[in-house]
Amino acid sequence: MISVTLNGKKIETNSNYLFQLADEFIEENSYSMENYVLILNGFQVSEDFRLDSNDDVVIIKKGAMVNEEEFESMVSARSSPGVYDTIKKSNVAVAGLGGLGSNLAIMLSRIGVGNLLLVDFDIVEPSNLNRQQYLIKDLGRYKTDALKDTISQINPFINVEVRTVKICPDNVEKLFRDYSIVCEAFDKADQKAMLINTLSLKLPNVKIVSASGLAGFESSNSIKTKKLMDNIYLCGDLMNEAKPFNGLMAPRVTICAAHQANMVLRLLLGINEP
């Protein structure tokens, strides 16, 4: 008999092989690769393996929703060891839910950030659809409400708070004082500067992940992540701002948002360098 973790629970089993365990676990008592996903120690597998004590196994039926415990074990299994347990305890805020913020929030929800704050005052309009994480059915809705609904369809087990307000120096401290990382995702330079400066003054321990230079269709490789100060990180190429003949397009906007999301992930894991 060996001890393994199956869908987040420690069990004792006489099964010495993965497919044998699957047959034992699955109600139909007939394991079929066509109907189930098997994840062994973080890797989805399609062949049989001999099991060892302390192996981590996830068995999920394709096309079926699972409960919270099974969902978390699945997300944890596809992450690196120990990563998910740290991330699900974290508190991250996204300021601005346009091209950067909407894409960034989706990525943070997919990695399992446990407490996510979304702040924006605007509604979804047609020109947003070329790069932002909204659908035609969202037109006219507040971005906060629409994005929260989308995230609930991706990961219903994280806590998503929304504030449908315009961020200004007077409310920055109240909005973000409970969050260890704030992602700046504004369009306008003066608003970016306002948020960074106010956070630095009023909440000096908060880490800020900002962005600048992501417009157009220049090389993807020009987008970088830099550490500007102890608590301030900047993603982008620092040059290509949105202007006539150099608009905001989905590829580079999403790439920059992914840089921000990856920097957030690294900070949550205690890695302070880009």
pLDDT at 267 (0 to 100): 98
Structure tokens at 225: 């992540």
Tens digits of per-residue pLDDT, 175-225?
999 999 999 999 899 999 999 999 999 999 999 999 999 888 999 999 999
Tens digits of per-residue pLDDT, 125-140?
999 999 999 999 999 9
pLDDT at 151 (0 to 100): 98
Domains in the chain: boundaries: 2-78, 84-268
Q: Could you tell me what percent of the chain has a pLDDT over 70?
A: 97
Question: What is the rounded end-to-end Cα distance, in angstroms, of the chain?
Answer: 45
Give pTM, 2 decimals.
0.89
Whole-number Å distance between alpha carbons of 5 and 23 = 16
Estimate the crossing angle of helix 99-111 against helix 250-268, to 10 degrees. 40
Range from 80-84, 102-106, 235-239 carrying the lowest mean pLDDT: 80-84
Query: Residue 81 in contact with residue 58, Cβ under 8 Å?
Result: no
pLDDT at 221 (0 to 100): 95
Whole-number Å distance between alpha carbons of 99 and 94 = 12
What pLDDT band is residue 28 in, cutting at 50, 70 and 90? low
pLDDT at 232 (0 to 100): 98
**Residues in contact with 199: Cβ distance below 8 Å, sequence separation at least 6, in sequence order:** 172, 176, 182, 206, 208
The three-point CA angle 218-248-171 to 5° equals 125
Report whether CATH 1.10.530 matches the domain 2-78: no
Report whether CATH 3.40.50.720 matches the domain 84-268: yes
pLDDT at 73 (0 to 100): 84
Q: Is the pLDDT of residue 157 over 90?
A: yes
Give the SS3 label for residue 250: helix
Question: Which residue spans within the chain are E strands per DSSP?
Answer: 2-6, 9-13, 36-40, 43-45, 56-61, 91-95, 115-119, 159-163, 181-184, 207-211, 224-229, 232-236
pLDDT at 25 (0 to 100): 83
Tens digits of per-residue pLDDT, 29-62?
555 667 888 999 888 898 999 999 889 999 988 8
